[in-house]
Chain A
Amino acid sequence: MRFEFAWPSALHKSGVLGMNKRNIDYIGRYNPRKFYKRVDDKLTTKQLALANNIAVPSLIGVVREQHEIETIPAMVNDKDGFVIKPSKGSGGKGILVITKVEAGRYYKPNGQEVNHSEIYRHVSNVLSGLFSLGGAPDVAIVEGLIQFDPVFDGYSYEGVPDIRLIVYKGFPVMGMLRLSTAASDGKANLHQGAVGVGVDIGTGKGLHAVQFDRPIELHPDTNKKLIDIQVPQWDFLLNTASKAYEMTEMGYLGTDMVLDKIKGPLLLELNARPGLAIQIANGRGILPYLNHVDSLGNHNMTVGERVEYAKKHFSYSAKL
């Protein structure tokens, strides 16, 4: 393996945002500590989203105490599948996906059976705070399974593709589609080997794709050409993401959404510390966009106006 390093000046020229600058100049400055709960606690996010007319995956139930774990089978016995996730988890940790419920037996997406005691143990771990930041006690959310839209068939392997948008001061500035692969074990986390496809803010069309931070052209499992992808209901997604700004009052936000074939776009979760791989997926730095938004100063644009502005100025073809 060869180690190649870029000159800092070259990265600076390309407008690449680094981790330290992200932490100090964006997260530290525009994401007030007191609002973190709205983002870090998925249950709170869900309740806020519902209050703001933003669609989210259905809530089957919440498990707050150890003894309530026994009620899970009753909650899910009429469902096709379900997801158990820690409310304060991060980075996709502690998410258990059951795609098939059959006569009281549960199966993971890869067909492996999960028995009751494993579910019990998993939820118990969640409640103890094993997956939450700083090990704080947590609650487990039981959510309905997302029936993901067949438009992404062939682009994703064994998992739900999700759409990540970076929303800066209410403007969607950069987007990416995250597709799971065999390497990522059905997960959509880029560091685990999922594919990231940069998406044009103006049109929702694929621009550029990466896996493990290196450019690729074809999906490694299905061999479909990645930049041919077109995300449907793009305007709706942009609007939902943009609304999250008013909802959370966070200036620098990552929104994760999925497309459900019946319910349409759903807000999956929000992230106050979105990663920087989206720049690699898009093949360019994010700083010029952030600076453009800063240059607008105080504006009074509505959600719709912001989305229109972003589509016009932040699309790939537009000149900044």
Chain B
Amino acid sequence: MHSKKPFYILVALLFIAGIATSVFRGVEHKVPFLPGKQVQSWAVDAKVSFQGTGGPAEVSFSLPNDPAFEVLVENASSPGYGLTISQDKQGRRALWSVRSAKGLQNLYYKVTLIPTGTTEVIASGVPATPQIYIWPATEKEAAEQIIDKVWAKSATNITFAQQLNKALNASDRSQNVELLLSNNTPIQLFLHMLHNKGVPAKEVSGLFLEDQRRRQQLTSFVEVYNDGKWVLFNPADGTQGRSDDVLLWDRSGTSTLDVTGGVNSQVNFSMLQDTRSALATSLDLMRNQGALDFSLYQLPLEEQSLFKGILLIPVGVLMVVFLRVIVGLKTSGTFMPVLIALAFIQTTLLTGLIGFILIVACGLMIRSYLSQLNLLLISRISAVIIVVIGIIGVFTLLSYKFGLSEGLTITFFPMIILAWTIERMSILWEEEGPKEVVIQGGGSLFVATLAYLAMSASWAQHWVFNFLGIHLVILALVLLMGQYTGYRLFELRRFKPLAGE
């Protein structure tokens, strides 16, 4: 007897690989683990407008660059303009250009965004120490007093920024602060004070997302560098960190909109919240990232739906293996119940059961006539197949005439399977009597029903198609059950008299 070790290693590998690829699918590609999950998405429209002066015009507009949101779809509409979307170290920018622009020009940029759940902004590198800001003589003393006071109360860059933010927004602000705020915006003041102590910080602009809002403007924030991350501050109201409804639009630290060859440029935003299927969303994202290569999602829809059916078979097979090896139920024909269950998926359970019993009952009656003709087995089966087709045709027509649309699905039953079932049942009837026919036929339908319930569960349908790794797990389970030498559930009853007292 050879060692079982390689076998168990194989099973363990299949199991781990199956689980790992499924988890990878779920975590990395964000394929939802549960079917029917919905995600929120934001559609944001930016409208850039300016007055053309008649000459060539160039519009450079920064595009959203925020780890908290992933771009699902983006497009720009700008008739007559050339458009380039460029990516540089500062971020992505759209560059519109035209030879001649006169009068009011409107350029549109439209983007659909999906929240990613990561709100931390990781810095791509250590930023350079900022240049020290030179205060005007009138502000110098006031500023230095505040900075020194706050500096003394802080330990790190981030606590310095926190204290500073607090001081600028305190309800009883000092004379010094009031003086400085009368000459500077809070953003400017905050930045200057940070730069004064060599703390890297920059102005960024963000958008407060709110459903069905129009003509919104960007809001300025300040990002302060700390320990490899950029922390967001809003010096205007003294808050720190970001809420879920803030979309960072421009993190370049430079201007959001540059227009040459135009005046009175401005940008307006409107937005709309939407819910969409999490699965469709993750597929769109994978398509954007080119992760769809060599996957079932690439197939034409017709083949995809075919595979959705085929990939359910392992679930049914697993069910049959379980019922036979662990429970000990008998089925007539090893995998006939799986095929019947596949038909049930098309017909729905009740219609399927009624249809199956009707066809088999009619078939048995006709088969009993055929048995008197002393035909060869091959021709008899063939005759049964043809008769089954006839029965299905008659039932379909009848149900159409009576307006029972459910009856039309009867055509989904595999005819060869039906013919063999009728033949086997007929022999069984002759040899063992009708009771055995009911027992065995009922047993097969029972197993088929259980297989159907397993295969029609929406989570099963979701998993077998979207997490192909699950098939490795099923394979591992089937292999394991193939090695199961313990008692079957029904044997515990059958051998009860042997269990001793």
A, B bound? yes
Complex alpha-carbon distance, A66 and B377, angstroms? 11
| Chain A, range 170-213, C-beta contacts under 8 Å to B | 192, 210, 213
| Chain B, range 487-501, C-beta contacts under 8 Å to A | 487-489, 491-500
Complex alpha-carbon distance, A214 and B432, angstroms? 21
- Interface 9-mer from A16-24, A44-52, A227-235: A16-24
Find out whether the CB atom of A7 lies under 8 angstroms from the CB atom of B486: no
1/0 per residue, CB under 8 A from B, across A231-246: the answer is 0000000000000000
Whether A120 is near chain B, meaning CB under 8 Å from some CB there, is yes
Find out whether the CB atom of A18 lies under 8 angstroms from the CB atom of B485: yes
Give the shortest distance, in Å, between B368 (CB) and chain A (any CB).
13
- Interface 9-mer from A79-87, A153-161, A253-261, A278-286: A278-286
Whether A11 is near chain B, meaning CB under 8 Å from some CB there, is yes
Find out whether the CB atom of B493 lies under 8 angstroms from the CB atom of A4: yes
Find out whether the CB atom of B492 lies under 8 angstroms from the CB atom of A21: no
Give the shortest distance, in Å, between B225 (CB) and chain A (any CB).
65
- Residue among B325, B374, B494, B500 with the most chain A CB within 10 A? B494
Find out whether the CB atom of B493 lies under 8 angstroms from the CB atom of A25: no
Give the shortest distance, in Å, between B428 (CB) and chain A (any CB).
10
- Whether A280 contacts B497 in the complex (CB less than 8 A), given A66-B376, A130-B427, comes out as yes
Find out whether the CB atom of B432 lies under 8 angstroms from the CB atom of A25: no
Whether A129 is near chain B, meaning CB under 8 Å from some CB there, is yes
Whether A99 is near chain B, meaning CB under 8 Å from some CB there, is no
Whether B9 is near chain A, meaning CB under 8 Å from some CB there, is no
1/0 per residue, CB under 8 A from B, across A274-316: the answer is 0010011001110000000000000000000000000000000
| Chain B, range 417-472, C-beta contacts under 8 Å to A | 427, 431-432
Find out whether the CB atom of A16 lies under 8 angstroms from the CB atom of B1: no
Whether A53 is near chain B, meaning CB under 8 Å from some CB there, is no
Complex alpha-carbon distance, A10 and B491, angstroms? 12
Find out whether the CB atom of A5 lies under 8 angstroms from the CB atom of B377: no
Partner of A5, one of B378, B427, B486, B492: B492
Complex alpha-carbon distance, A224 and B418, angstroms? 46
Give the shortest distance, in Å, between B205 (CB) and chain A (any CB).
69
Whether B87 is near chain A, meaning CB under 8 Å from some CB there, is no
Return the chain B residue nearest A3 by Cβ. Answer: B493
Whether A93 is near chain B, meaning CB under 8 Å from some CB there, is yes
Total interface residues on B, using CB and 8 Å? 28
Find out whether the CB atom of A14 lies under 8 angstroms from the CB atom of B492: no
**B494 contact set on A, CB distance < 8 A:** 213, 280
Partner of B486, one of A18, A93, A210, A214: A18
- Whether A11 contacts B376 in the complex (CB less than 8 A), given A20-B484, A21-B486, A121-B371, comes out as no
**B198 contact set on A, CB distance < 8 A:** none
| Chain A, range 108-127, C-beta contacts under 8 Å to B | 117, 120-121, 124-125
Partner of B488, one of A18, A93, A284: A18
**A280 contact set on B, CB distance < 8 A:** 494-495, 497-498
Complex alpha-carbon distance, A11 and B427, angstroms? 36
Partner of B377, one of A6, A125, A215: A125
Give the shortest distance, in Å, between B495 (CB) and chain A (any CB).
5
Give the shortest distance, in Å, between A21 (CB) and chain B (any CB).
4
Return the chain B residue nearest A137 by Cβ. Answer: B377
Find out whether the CB atom of A25 lies under 8 angstroms from the CB atom of B498: no
Complex alpha-carbon distance, A215 and B183, angstroms? 105
Partner of A93, one of B431, B489, B493, B495: B431
Find out whether the CB atom of A10 lies under 8 angstroms from the CB atom of B484: no
- Whether A6 contacts B374 in the complex (CB less than 8 A), given A19-B328, A19-B491, A20-B488, comes out as no
Partner of B485, one of A20, A128, A130, A210: A20
Complex alpha-carbon distance, A121 and B379, angstroms? 13
Find out whether the CB atom of B488 lies under 8 angstroms from the CB atom of A192: no
Find out whether the CB atom of A128 lies under 8 angstroms from the CB atom of B497: no
Whether B184 is near chain A, meaning CB under 8 Å from some CB there, is no
Whether B185 is near chain A, meaning CB under 8 Å from some CB there, is no
Complex alpha-carbon distance, A12 and B427, angstroms? 38
**A285 contact set on B, CB distance < 8 A:** 498
Give the shortest distance, in Å, between A63 (CB) and chain B (any CB).
14
Whether A29 is near chain B, meaning CB under 8 Å from some CB there, is yes
Return the chain A residue nearest B326 by Cβ. Answer: A20
Whether A105 is near chain B, meaning CB under 8 Å from some CB there, is no
Complex alpha-carbon distance, A125 and B430, angstroms? 13
Complex alpha-carbon distance, A29 and B485, angstroms? 13
Partner of B374, one of A121, A215, A283: A121
- Whether A5 contacts B498 in the complex (CB less than 8 A), given A19-B491, A20-B325, A24-B483, comes out as no
Partner of A117, one of B374, B427, B486: B374
Complex alpha-carbon distance, A5 and B496, angstroms? 6
- Whether A11 contacts B499 in the complex (CB less than 8 A), given A20-B488, A66-B376, A130-B377, comes out as yes
A-B contact pairs, 28 of them (CB 8 A): A3-B493, A4-B493, A5-B489, A5-B492, A6-B496, A7-B492, A8-B486, A11-B492, A12-B487, A14-B498, A14-B500, A16-B491, A16-B498, A16-B499, A18-B488, A20-B487, A20-B488, A25-B485, A120-B374, A125-B427, A128-B378, A129-B377, A130-B377, A213-B497, A215-B497, A279-B495, A279-B498, A284-B498
Please give me the 9 A-B residue pairs with the lowest Cβ-Cβ distance, nearest first.
Answer: A128-B377, A6-B499, A21-B485, A10-B499, A18-B487, A5-B492, A6-B496, A121-B374, A6-B492
Interface residue ranges, A against B (CB under 8 Å): 3-8, 10-14, 16, 18-21, 24-25, 29, 66, 93, 117, 120-121, 124-125, 128-130, 192, 210, 213-215, 276, 279-280, 283-285
Extra contacts, 9 of them, besides A11-B491, A18-B487 (Cβ < 8 A), are A5-B489, A5-B496, A7-B492, A11-B487, A11-B495, A18-B488, A18-B491, A25-B485, A280-B498
